[in-house]
Amino acid sequence: MKKQIIIKCLVELDIPYLIKLSKRKTMRIHFDSSAILIINAPLLIKISSLEAFVEKNINWIKERYNEVLEKKVTYNNGSIQYYLGKPYILRINHSK
């Protein structure tokens, strides 16, 4: 059974996150393309250390989260999408 780790400051800011524990010595934070914060940490890390690491980097997390949300691609009918540097108008066909 996997243990769920809740990081209070991320819950309060309503930032979705995923903690990946693995055989590593360092901690790393980054956002994936769908604006989910990925926290990579060692298997045997204390929860308090993990929370302290996140709180120490909370300003960076907030800044990057806003940047990722702005860059998040949405596919709407009539929106302009770029492919190889050229703009194309998106037409969505709903088929059966």
CA distance linking residue 39 with residue 55, whole number of Å:
13
Higher pLDDT, 77 or 73: 77
SS3 70: helix
Q: How far is CA 45 from CA 24, 36, 59, 77, in A?
A: 10, 21, 22, 46
The closest of 79, 86, 96, 24 to 38, measured between CA atoms, is 24
2-28 tens-digit pLDDT: 567 888 888 888 999 999 999 999 999
Which pLDDT belongs to residue 39? 94
Centre a 10 Å sphere on the Cβ of residue 44 and count the other Cβ atoms it contains: 7
Instruction: Give the model's confidence band at 78: pLDDT under 50 very low, under 70 low, under 90 confident, else very high.
Output: confident
Does the pLDDT value for residue 75 go beyond 90? no
Strands (E), 3-75: 17-22, 28-31, 37-42
Do 69 and 35 meet the contact criterion of CB atoms below 8 Å apart? Answer: yes
Which pLDDT belongs to residue 34? 83
Residues 6 or more apart in contact with residue 16 via CB below 8 angstroms: 35, 36, 37
Which pLDDT belongs to residue 92? 83
46-60 tens-digit pLDDT: 999 999 999 999 999
How much is the mean pLDDT over the chain?
A: 88
